[in-house]
A and B are shown apart, each in its own frame.
Chain A
Amino acid sequence: RKEVEQDPGPFNVPEGATVAFNCTYSNSASQSFFWYRQDCRKEPKLLMSVYSSGNEDGRFTAQLNRASQYISLLIRDSKLSDSATYLCAVGPRVTGGGNKLTFGTGTQLKVEL
């Protein structure tokens, strides 16, 4: 089983739709969670960190489910400009594990008119 797994998609959704992605991780000791956005052939850019209590940034909501070992990203009112690949990244324990992030292979989102 991969350390971090994502459905590669593509998810094709109409503009204005709400879309959700999940990302599962295998290491129960993981403590750091992030969502990155990557446009074609460009660098990953941090979209948001994922906190235990869940967090929201505008149209984007991230949640963590420790019991089932997954994180989720919800995008409301999707825009054409949201079309990209969304990578999840999982990091180790707060102490002792350093800062190694393991990335999923990404979920491709295509928002259409």
Chain B
Amino acid sequence: EAQVTQNPRYLITVTGKKLTVTCSQNMNHEYMSWYRQDPGLGLRQIYYSMNVEVTDKGDVPEGYKVSRKEKRNFPLILESPSPNQTSLYFCASSLRWGGGNQPQHFGDGTRLSIL
């Protein structure tokens, strides 16, 4: 089954404790992206990756890091989490970077609470 898989689904942790949210897709998609969703603000892009070893900042990259060493994986790293990073996070992928008219397919989401 074609899917985008995120782990963990839920995490409660404390300020400053490094964490990684994994994202994996099995559709051989080139493009992957991370979003956070907050009430009243909608989905905001954190980082995206056009292909292996090619990443770039989205609209709200501060406090996050990503890597794309393999095509299928795109982990999101919070080196020193803070309470304002408490949010619902989604990973998404699409077939290619360019060419237009390409919908993105989302993972189930990860709900992070930073205390």
Contacts and interface: CB of A to CB of B under 8 A. Distances in A.
How big is chain B's contact interface, by range?
A: 20 to 34
B39 to A, nearest CB: 9
Interface stretch (A11-19, A44-52, A72-80): A44-52
Nearest to B95: A99
Interface in B9-56: 31, 35, 40-43, 45, 48, 50
Interface in A21-46: 31-32, 34, 41-46
Contacts of A41: 88, 109, 111
B40 A45 contact: no
Nearest to B109: A43
Contacts of A44: 43, 90, 106
Contact of B107 (A43, A92, A105): A43
B98 A99 contact: yes
Nearest to A43: B106
Interface in B78-112: 88, 90, 94, 96-109, 111
Contact of B101 (A42, A94, A102): A94
Nearest to A6: B42
Contacts of B104: 46, 89, 99, 101
Given A44-B90, A46-B105, A99 B41 contact: no
Interface of A: 31-32, 34, 41-46, 49, 87, 89, 91-106
7 contacts: A31-B101, A32-B102, A46-B105, A49-B101, A96-B98, A99-B96, A105-B42
